[in-house]
Each structure stands twice: as structure tokens, then as C-alpha cells.
């Protein structure tokens, strides 16, 4: 029997069990010939893959502090995930089902796991983190090096950093660390290319036609938990000190609230990489093709019977078709032109691409999704850092807020949007109206965010305010006899005036006191000539008086995320019902490619560049600008929220134009119907039965 005949018999549902293949009974005894087991494995793999892909966003500010990166550089680092993904998607779209899909998924997962290990490598090849860079190696960190020392004993610091700490080896090591992280992010994107599209097509090929929507729905639901778990993992790991594997003798005197605190960012990559590696193992045992599932799940049949109409003659019911179509085409480039050669594929691709882009509805929907995805990409990357800086909360707490509030709200929004489209049988016009309302209320909810924030910390020598507050001069006379290192950072706070000093030396402090407690020790500095009464003053930044605003802020952000996600399914259905039937698969593939190129790649860099413009004090490392120590909080809030507002406005404008075009088309169709068949209603529901062909919008 030829392979072609065997494949045809395996895909036939009504053939008795023993006749589909000579070894069908042996196949069914193996768990790797069960599509249900494949769905379970693929759900776990995609969950782990999205967890490792999103973990960098949860620790972006920590990586910046550890390796002296600007927000623009860290945004570019986050975007390189999409560079590797986009570079290979065209090859995946060509090969499609011609390859051993489970095995290729396994190879991709192994590459993702190796990229996660590579991402944690900089921790192991770098020197231990020294939060007090001015202290000598043989002296306890955070001790006498930051205190006021007489100029007669210590020469004046030079304007430029000492060359002794800026050797060519140090700079080479920094470039190597940054290069490793960029390479790891690129490999992370490349490894993720075959996982989702090949998994979806494999499930759809070998699952029962009635069960496929359920399996894909389960896969999508489990996958959506990945980003939330990434932020949750980040919240847990950043509570641990970065050098937990090589703690200095005597421990450290830092707490997670100290601005110099760096959490164990690398540990999350190791855990995520291990999870991906374990999830990849079963894929090397799945067959290239398995017998098609022959039986519909009983409880799923009951659900369909209650909600819609029973399945008849093996055709998809309306509910199945509405659920199945958007999911099975989620990465539509995979299924394009399976019988074309490479040359034919290259020839047909530009022609269909131009034909699709000329369609006004498709173009406007994609532009609206580009705006919405740009907003999401910027917020997902830099919202943890924004919360840390704006409300003076720890990185761990910021991640837990996002993972526990914003991500679940977005998931709920997507589910509610799909339910509204399905249950109300929304037509094109009503889908456009739903998208418009979701974008409008999302925009309105962002207006109060401009006014919810904390004032900029008052830092001696950096911030200048009218009124000549004591201690805010560039070079206070009270510390005139102190020789203070220019590149040191060990902030202390004067609680009486809420003025912050970069180091105890700049406050004129000459002694250090440690108060031991049962669970932790608190550091104080005394004999401070710039502090009223001389102290003692606590180490660390000043407490913020408005940290309580972080919860209302996150409530509005999460509600806006739910409303923005509400537009996901109806806008997707506008694309599926707005292009020609033969172009649907390619249109969805083009949509996801444009979202990557126009939104997910540039948006983190744009947001990072905007954040950098609000910095008021940069740390210097070997003569170059490193991490930002302090931001202007008002500028930071206005520019970060302003960028979000800009992208939301663009999405709203696109949806308004879509609704206007749909109204005009509906008016023209009603006019034609009045002339030909009076009284015939032309508004077609997006959720339609198989006997109704999808109505196309006119270009």
C-alpha cells in the first residue's frame, strides 16, 4: 500500500478501526498517537514558551541596573525577540505540512530552552554585583568609602571616572554581555517560530472536525496564562538578591526597597528554560501523521446541542465554525500554497499581498491593531519600571500587580469579545461599532492617568526648585571640606526636609551606625553637617507620600486593558469576512507579520527612548552614559501615558473610519436591494452556518 493511500485511509473517519492501517490497534495503544495527549503537551509547551518570552519584560529595570543599560537599549533588547521570529516566518509559511511537524516543534523548543540558558549566562561570566562601586574590594561594601573624608587626606576627585576601573577588559566584557543577551533574544524568537503554527495545523488535521474548536480553545486559554505567569515568576525571583549563589561574607545591608537592589533576574530564565526543555521531550515521539480522531466528545456534543443546533452530516455547526475559523488561521501563512514550488511561492506572494493591502477594511483593521499592539508592547515592556519609578514600589510588587490584575483583565476582555460576537450574531456594522466603543472607553479611561502620580524626589545637587530649599544647591557649603567620589551612589534621606543625597558624603556624614534586628539590620548615618541636628538619617531613598495611588492607577490600567482586548475578536472577524475566501489564510498571515514589524519591534524602542528623555541624573560607567538613577516624575508620567494615549487615539480613528465605510457600503447595498428585491435584509451575521457563504466587503 502506498503512502498516499495510507494517508487517505488514516484521514477517513467512518472506516472501521482495524482497516485504517495495518497497525492501527498497536498505534492506539501508544499515548503518542492520541491527539488529546498532543493538545495537552502543546498547551504546556506554549505556556512555558510564552513564560520565557515574557520574563525579560518583568525584569527589564533590573537588567538595566545590573549591566548599566539605558531604556532605549533595553527596549531594543526586548524587540529582538520579534526580529528572529519575523526573519523565519516566511520559510515556515512555505514548508507548512511538508515537514515532520512534531519533530520540528521539538527542535524549536530546544532552541528556545538553549536561548533561555544563554540569556542567564551574563550572570555567571560577570563579576559579583557591587552596589557600592566606590568601595575597595578589600573593604566591606557600603562602609567608609561613602563617608565624608577630609580633602587633606584624600585628593579631590577627577571629573572623569578613574581609568583603573575602566580597563579595556572591562569594556570588552560589557560588550560581550550585551552581545550575548541580544543573541539570546534573537534565538528565542527563532525557536518560537514553528511552535504555534505547526501545533495548530497538526491539531486541526488529526482531530475530529467537531472536537477541533474545543481543542484549539483549550490551547488558547492555557496559552494566555503564560504572560501572567512570567510576571508572577519575575515577582518571586526579584525578591532574591542577584548574587544569591555567591553571597559576600557577612551578607548584605540592602533591602528590596533600596534603589541599588538588584534581584535574581537570571534565575527565572533558568527555571523557564527547564520548563520548556521538559515540555519539548514528547515531541520527538509523536508521529509525522496519526490516525484522524473518529469520535466526537460526548459532553462537547451536548454543549453544542444546548447552545446551537446538533451537528449533522459531518458538517461544522455555526458555533463550531465561528470558534474554529479564527483559531485555525491564527498563523495563516503556514497553510498557504502547499503544492507550490519555492519559485511559484515567491511569484504569487507579492501579487496577493498587494491585492490584500488595497482592501480598505483590511488595511484599516490592521492599522488599528498596529496602534493597539504598539500600546500593548510598550506597556508590557516598561509598565513594571514605570510603577517602580513613579510610585516608589519594589520591582517584585510591580510584577505581581501586573500579573495578578492587568493580564487576567486582558484575558477576560478577549473572552467577552468573542462571546458577544458569537451569542449576539453580530454583523459587520455591529462588530465595527463594538470595536469603536471599546476603543473609545479605553481612551477615556486613560485621561485620569495623566494626573495620578507622585512628585519628583528632591535630590541635592540635581533638582532645583524655587525658594532655595536648604541642601538643594549644586555644591552645598556644608560639605565643603569633604572629598566625595563622583561616581558613587549610596542614597540617604533627610526625613525632616525630605531631601535626598546621592551619598552620605554629600550630606557631610562622617560616621555609620547599624541597628541590628531579629530579621534585618537598618543602616543609619550620623554627624551629617548638611542635616539639621546632624542626624542620624536612614540609608535609602525617601519614602513616597503617594505610593497608595498605585492601586487605583492599576485598576484603571487593567480596566482599559479589558476594553482594548474586547476589540480583538470582532476586529479579527472583520478581516475574515472582509477579504476574498481564497485570500483569507494569507490575509491573516500578513496581519500577524505587519503587527510584528510595525508594532512589536519598534514600540519598545520608542517607549524606551521617550523614557530616557525624562532622566535627570545618569550614572557614568567608563566615560559612557549608563543607567538612569533619577527621573522627572511629571515628565515620565506625561510622556509614557501620552504615548499610550496617542496609540489609542490612532486605533479609535481607524475604527471610526471602518464604521463609516461599512455604513456607506450598507447604504449602497440597501439601495440596490430596494431596486431588485424590496425588503430583503442584507446585514449578514459574522457567525453564520456552513450553508451561507461569507459576504465580502466591496473594495
The per-residue pLDDT for range 448-499, each reduced to its tens digit, is 999 998 888 888 878 765 444 444 454 456 766 777 777 788 888 888 888 8
Query: Residues 228, 82: one domain?
Result: yes
Phi, psi of 406 (to 5 degrees): -70, -50
Position 302 scores a pLDDT of: 55
3-state class (DSSP) for residue 197: helix
Q: Which residues contact 182 (CB under 8 A, 6 or more apart)?
A: 77, 80
Specify if 146 maps to a domain: no
What's the rounded mean pLDDT across residues 61-67? 91
Residue positions counted in the chain: 699
pLDDT of residue 445 exceeding 90, the answer is yes
Q: Which residues contact 392 (CB under 8 A, 6 or more apart)?
A: 454, 541, 543, 544, 547
Query: What band does 97 get if pLDDT is binned at 50, 70 and 90?
Result: low
Structural domain total, the chain: 3
pLDDT of residue 3 exceeding 60, the answer is no
Least confident of 221-225, 344-348, 520-524, 691-695: 691-695
d(CA 117, CA 266): 9
Position 11 scores a pLDDT of: 42
Specify if 686 maps to a domain: no
Query: Residues 438, 512: one domain?
Result: no
d(CA 263, CA 249): 18
Q: Which residues contact 41 (CB under 8 A, 6 or more apart)?
A: 279, 282, 283
Specify if 97 maps to a domain: yes
d(CA 24, CA 581): 36
Last-in-domain residue among 540, 555, 580: 540
Query: Residues 74, 175: one domain?
Result: yes
Query: What band does 42 get if pLDDT is binned at 50, 70 and 90?
Result: very high
Task: Read off the pLDDT of residues 287-321 as tens digits, 9 standing for 90 and up.
Answer: 988 888 777 666 555 554 544 433 333 334 333 44
Query: Residues 553, 625: one domain?
Result: yes
Q: Hey, how many other C-beta atoms are within 10 angstroms of the C-beta on 592?
A: 22
Specify if 151 maps to a domain: no
What's the rounded mean pLDDT across residues 386-402? 92
Q: Higher pLDDT residue, 579 or 379?
A: 379
Q: Higher pLDDT residue, 642 or 213?
A: 642
Query: Residues 401, 270: one domain?
Result: no
Cβ atoms of 170 and 130 within 8 Å: the answer is no
Which pairs from 225-228 meet CB under 8 Å and 24+ separation?
225/47, 225/411, 226/46, 226/47, 226/48, 226/49, 226/50, 226/51, 226/53, 226/54, 227/50, 227/51, 227/54, 227/380, 227/403, 227/407, 228/403, 228/404, 228/407, 228/408, 228/411
What's the rounded mean pLDDT across residues 94-115? 85
Strand partners, 514: 523
Query: Residues 535, 552: one domain?
Result: no
d(CA 492, CA 438): 46
Q: Hey, how many other C-beta atoms are within 10 angstroms of the C-beta on 576?
A: 18
Percent of the chain residues topping a pLDDT of 90? 33
Position 232 scores a pLDDT of: 93
**Per-residue DSSP letters for 588-635?**
HHHHHHHHIIIIITHHHHHHHHHHHTTEEEEEEETTEEEEEEEE-HHH
pLDDT of residue 158 exceeding 80, the answer is no
DSSP 460: T
Query: What band does 72 get if pLDDT is binned at 50, 70 and 90?
Result: very high
Least confident of 16-30, 217-231, 376-390, 667-681: 16-30
Task: Read off the pLDDT of residues 319-354 as tens digits, 9 standing for 90 and up.
Answer: 344 444 434 444 444 444 455 555 666 677 677 677
Task: Read off the pLDDT of residues 599-629 as tens digits, 9 standing for 90 and up.
Answer: 999 999 999 999 999 999 888 877 778 889 8
Q: Higher pLDDT residue, 220 or 278?
A: 278
Specify if 684 maps to a domain: no
3-state class (DSSP) for residue 266: helix
Position 344 scores a pLDDT of: 66
Position 169 scores a pLDDT of: 67
Percent of the chain residues topping a pLDDT of 70? 74
d(CA 215, CA 208): 10
- Taken in order 536, 540, 541, 546, the sign of the CA dihedral is negative
pLDDT of residue 256 exceeding 50, the answer is yes
Note the pTM of the prediction, 2 decimals.
Answer: 0.81
Position 43 scores a pLDDT of: 92
pLDDT of residue 435 exceeding 90, the answer is yes
Query: What band does 171 get if pLDDT is binned at 50, 70 and 90?
Result: confident
Position 441 scores a pLDDT of: 95
Last-in-domain residue among 540, 568, 593: 540
Nearest to 530 by CA among 511, 507, 512: 507
Strand partners, 499: 458, 494
pLDDT of residue 161 exceeding 90, the answer is no
Query: Residues 78, 40: one domain?
Result: yes
Query: Residues 431, 579: one domain?
Result: yes
Q: Hey, how many other C-beta atoms are within 10 angstroms of the C-beta on 634?
A: 15
Residue for grid cell 443546533 = 309
Last-in-domain residue among 492, 509, 540: 540
Q: Which residues contact 45 (CB under 8 A, 6 or more apart)?
A: 105, 109, 195, 199, 276, 279, 280, 283
Position 289 scores a pLDDT of: 85
**Mean pLDDT of all residues in the chain?**
78
Position 471 scores a pLDDT of: 46
Specify if 483 maps to a domain: yes
Pair type for strands 492-494 and 511-516? unpaired
- Residue 554: which H helix or E strand, with range? helix 550-565
Domain limits for position 104: 31-130+171-302
Query: Residues 532, 562: one domain?
Result: no
Position 382 scores a pLDDT of: 94
Position 271 scores a pLDDT of: 95
pLDDT of residue 156 exceeding 60, the answer is no
Residue for grid cell 489609542 = 648
- Residue 94: which H helix or E strand, with range? helix 71-95
Cell of 111: 532552541
Least confident of 62-66, 92-96, 227-231, 428-432: 92-96
SS3 content of the chain, % helix, strand, coil (to 5): 60, 5, 35
d(CA 534, CA 509): 8
What's the rounded mean pLDDT across residues 537-551? 86
Query: Residues 507, 391: one domain?
Result: no
Position 477 scores a pLDDT of: 65
pLDDT of residue 255 exceeding 50, the answer is yes
Position 336 scores a pLDDT of: 46
Q: What is the CATH number of the domain that holds 86?
A: 1.20.1250.20
Least confident of 6-10, 117-121, 350-354, 584-588: 6-10
Specify if 460 maps to a domain: no
Position 317 scores a pLDDT of: 38
Query: Residues 521, 569: one domain?
Result: no
Least confident of 2-16, 105-119, 230-244: 2-16
Instruction: Determine whether 609 is exposed, middle or buried from the number of CB atoms within 10 Å of its CB (0-12, 13-18, 19+).
Output: middle
Query: What band does 695 get if pLDDT is binned at 50, 70 and 90?
Result: very low
Helices (H), 339-490: 342-357, 360-391, 395-401, 407-423, 428-445
Specify if 90 maps to a domain: yes
Q: What is the 3-state secondary structure (H, E, C) of 13-46?
A: CCCCHHHCCCCHHHHHHCHHHCHHHHHHHHHHHH
Position 296 scores a pLDDT of: 66
Cis amide prior to 536 (ω within 30 degrees): yes
Strand partners, 624: 621
Residue for grid cell 540617604 = 492
Position 353 scores a pLDDT of: 72
d(CA 567, CA 171): 47
Q: Higher pLDDT residue, 662 or 296?
A: 662
Query: Residues 82, 178: one domain?
Result: yes
Amino acid at each position: 500500500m502506498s503512502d498516499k493511500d495510507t494517508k487517505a485511509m488514516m484521514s477517513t473517519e467512518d472506516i472501521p478501526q482495524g482497516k485504517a492501517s495495518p497497525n492501527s490497534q498497536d498505534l492506539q495503544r501508544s499515548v503518542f498517537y492520541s491527539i488529546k495527549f498532543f493538545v495537552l503537551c502543546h498547551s504546556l509547551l506554549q505556556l512555558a514558551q510564552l513564560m520565557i518570552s515574557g520574563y525579560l519584560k518583568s525584569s527589564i529595570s533590573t537588567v538595566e541596573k545590573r549591566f548599566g543599560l539605558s531604556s532605549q537599549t533595553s527596549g531594543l533588547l526586548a524587540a529582538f525577540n520579534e526580529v528572529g521570529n519575523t526573519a523565519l516566518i516566511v520559510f515556515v509559511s512555505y514548508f507548512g505540512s511538508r515537514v515532520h511537524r512534531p519533530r520540528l516543534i521539538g527542535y524549536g523548543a530546544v532552541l528556545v530552552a538553549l536561548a533561555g540558558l544563554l540569556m542567564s549566562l551574563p550572570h555567571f561570566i560577570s563579576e559579583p554585583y557591587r552596589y557600592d562601586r566606590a568601595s575597595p574590594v578589600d573593604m566591606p561594601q557600603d562602609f567608609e568609602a561613602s563617608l565624608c573624608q577630609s580633602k587633606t587626606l584624600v585628593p579631590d576627585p577627577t571629573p572623569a571616572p578613574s581609568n583603573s576601573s575602566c580597563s579595556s577588559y572591562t569594556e570588552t566584557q560589557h560588550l560581550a554581555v550585551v552581545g550575548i543577551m541580544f543573541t539570546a533574544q534573537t534565538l528565542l524568537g527563532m525557536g518560537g517560530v514553528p511552535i504555534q503554527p505547526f501545533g495548530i495545523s497538526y491539531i486541526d488535521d488529526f482531530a475530529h472536525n467537531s472536537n477541533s474548536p474545543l481543542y484549539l480553545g483549550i490551547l488558547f486559554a492555557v496559552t494566555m496564562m503564560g504572560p501572567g505567569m512570567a510576571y508572577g515568576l519575575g515577582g518571586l525571583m526579584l525578591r532574591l538578591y542577584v548574587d544569591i549563589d555567591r553571597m559576600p561574607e557577612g551578607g548584605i545591608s540592602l533591602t528590596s526597597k533600596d534603589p541599588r537592589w538588584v534581584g535574581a533576574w537570571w534565575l527565572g530564565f533558568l527555571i523557564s528554560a527547564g520548563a520548556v526543555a521538559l515540555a519539548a521531550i514528547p515531541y520527538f515521539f509523536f508521529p509525522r501523521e496519526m490516525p484522524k480522531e473518529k469520535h466526537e466528545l460526548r459532553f462537547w456534543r451536548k454543549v453544542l446541542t444546548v447552545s446551537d443546533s446538533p451537528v449533522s452530516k459531518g458538517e461544522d455547526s455555526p458555533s463550531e465554525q465561528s470558534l474554529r475559523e479564527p483559531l485555525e488561521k491564527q498563523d495563516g501563512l503556514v497553510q498557504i500554497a502547499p503544492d507550490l514550488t519555492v519559485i511559484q511561492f515567491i511569484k504569487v506572494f507579492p501579487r496577493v499581498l498587494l491585492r490584500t493591502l488595497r482592501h480598505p477594511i483590511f488595511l484599516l483593521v490592521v492599522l488599528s491593531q498596529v496602534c493597539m499592539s504598539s500600546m500593548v508592547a510598550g506597556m508590557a515592556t516598561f509598565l513594571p519600571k514605570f510603577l517602580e519609578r513613579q510610585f516608589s514600589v519594589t520591582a517584585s510588587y510591580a510584577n505581581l500587580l501586573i500579573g495578578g490584575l492587568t493580564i487576567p483583565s486582558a484575558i477576560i476582555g478577549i473572552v467577552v469579545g468573542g462571546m458577544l460576537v458569537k451569542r449576539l450574531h453580530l454583523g459587520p456594522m455591529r462588530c465595527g461599532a463594538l470595536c469603536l466603543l471599546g476603543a473609545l472607553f479605553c481612551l477615556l479611561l486613560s485621561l485620569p492617568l495623566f494626573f495620578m502620580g507622585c512628585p519628583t524626589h528632591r535630590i541635592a545637587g540635581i533638582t532645583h526648585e524655587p525658594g532655595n530649599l536648604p541642601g538643594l544647591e549644586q555644591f552645598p557649603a556644608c560639605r565643603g571640606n569633604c572629598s566625595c567620589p563622583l561616581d558613587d551612589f549610596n542614597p540617604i534621606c533627610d526625613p525632616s526636609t525630605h531631601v535626598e543625597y546621592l551619598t552620605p558624603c554629600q550630606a557631610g556624614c562622617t560616621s555609620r551606625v547599624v541597628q541590628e534586628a531579629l530579621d534585618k539590620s537598618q543602616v543609619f548615618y550620623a554627624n551629617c553637617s548638611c542635616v539639621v541636628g546632624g542626624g542620624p538619617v536612614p540609608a535609602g531613598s525617601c519614602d513616597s507620600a503617594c505610593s497608595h495611588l498605585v492601586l487605583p492607577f492599576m485598576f484603571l490600567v487593567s480596566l482599559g486593558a479589558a476594553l482594548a482586548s474586547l476589540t480583538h475578536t470582532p476586529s479579527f472577524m472583520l478581516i475574515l469576512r472582509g477579504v476574498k475566501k481564497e485570500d483569507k489564510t494569507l490575509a491573516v498571515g500578513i496581519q500577524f507579520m505587519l503587527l510584528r514589524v510595525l508594532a512589536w519591534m519598534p514600540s519598545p524602542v520608542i517607549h524606551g527612548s521617550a523614557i530616557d528623555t525624562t532622566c535627570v541624573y545618569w550614572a557614568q560607567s567608563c566615560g559612557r552614559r549608563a543607567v538612569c538613577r533619577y527621573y522627572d516624575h511629571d515628565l515620565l508620567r506625561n510622556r509614557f501615558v501620552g504615548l499610550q494615549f496617542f496609540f489609542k487615539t490612532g486605533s479609535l480613528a481607524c475604527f471610526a473610519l471602518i464604521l463609516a465605510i461599512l455604513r456607506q457600503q450598507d447604504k449602497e447595498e440597501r439601495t440596490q436591494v430596494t431596486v431588485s428585491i424590496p425588503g430583503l435584509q442584507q446585514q449578514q451575521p459574522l457567525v453564520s452556518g456552513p450553508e451561507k457563504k461569507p459576504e465580502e466587503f466591496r473594495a
